[in-house]
Amino acid sequence: MELKRVVVTGIGAITPIGNTAPEYWESLLNGVSGCTHITHFDASNFKTKIACEVKGFDEKDYFERKEARKFDRYAKLGMVAASEAVKDSGIDAAETDHDRVGVIWAAGIGGLDTFQKEISDFATGNGTPRFNPFFIPKMIADIAAGQISIKFGFRGPNFATVSACASSANALSDAYNYIRLGKANAFVVGGSEAAVTPVGVGGFNAMHAISTRNDDPKTASRPFDVDRDGFVIGEGGAGLIFEELEHALARGAKIYGEVAGAGLSGDAYHMTAPHPEGYGAYLCMKAAVEDSGLKLEDIDHINTHGTSTPVGDIVEPLAITKLFGEHAYKININSTKSMTGHLLGGAGAVEAIAALLAVKHDMVPPTINQFNLDPKIDSKLNFTFGNKAVKRTVNAALSNTFGFGGHNASIIFKKFGQ
């Protein structure tokens, strides 16, 4: 069958460096770090006292008090980002057949804060099982997708993808495939996370996965630097409107770019560590390029997973050079996690917007906080180090997201019409 073409007609984001998509993009271009000392709870007894929190978010600006009580923070952030994307696209007003618009919204964990509070209240009580009636629906990872669907009346395919830090990249891949197979006209697709909580920070501390650079938060996220000491946990989310091309053209929608291809793979190696030779990363990037019909030489930019972890930051460049060969040295590579931190299940969508806008504006955001490149990493690669964006033609960009369990996802955006 002839596959339909898919374009992006709306974006929305709420991040540690901007509470709308335009604010987020502007901060990326200017190399702004979103890492500060934790304010959500008293972290004085924790090894890690820093995080990339969303700033200036007042839920009363978006939700009635009774409504807000029904949602965990991850769902609130997701609904705000999704609403911005829907408004930006105009799909709600223009689409008469809401049966053909779906929602796929990801979370790697879901309502972690809700879960902690409910269990803590029970454990410190008198043993009487008194739980909030909203406990379960607030906690489950699919509720944001359901609530977005309810808010807009979109009755197409509706579900959540859960694959740790690859969750929202998997959501993007699913939405892309549903549309090009003719199963829907459009999707609200993305993901959100809100794991800057005592159990979130404590759990990652126990794994020695997150940075403890408490005395210098702004430079704590150091992808590819020899002195990196783990990722910086972040929160927030992003949404995109994926739409079938002819449907978008018929309603006169603006088009940010075209979804060119997607690739998925599994490491089949370890619970938390990536394959030591980056084989899973290689496979999903290779699959995405093959799916797109582009040549390896057509990829101008890669937004890496680049978390600032000891092993991950070594194997991803290995995979890039293995796949792209000499062309790898002509690609502007970056890690926007150096600014946003790691948004876990929301990372794929947040970084997809960065890659998409790089294509649209021919600007590659920098990788900040680079002081000394790890000597185990190929120094000929262009990691776009610095504090300012680089102007260059970006006809096609690839975004990588990898998750615990060996889940790997890559998605490619290209300029519309090329």
Catalytic residues: 165, 305, 342
Amino acid occupying residue 289: V
Provide the angle, in degrees to the nearest 10, between the axes of the packed helices 143-152 and 73-89. Answer: 40
The candidate with the shortest Cα–Cα distance to 241, out of 13, 408, 414, 18, is 13
C-beta of residue 95 within 8 angstroms of C-beta of residue 186:
yes
- The Cα–Cα gap between 146 and 143 comes to 5
Q: What is the DSSP letter of 293?
A: T
CA atoms within 13 A on the CB side of 326: 0
C-beta of residue 391 within 8 angstroms of C-beta of residue 293:
no
| Other beta carbons within 10 Å of 128 | 6
Q: Kindly compute the dihedral angle of the four CA atoms of residues 20, 24, 25, 27, in this order, to the nearest 10 degrees.
A: 140
Hey, CA dihedral for 252, 257, 262, 267, is it positive or negative? negative
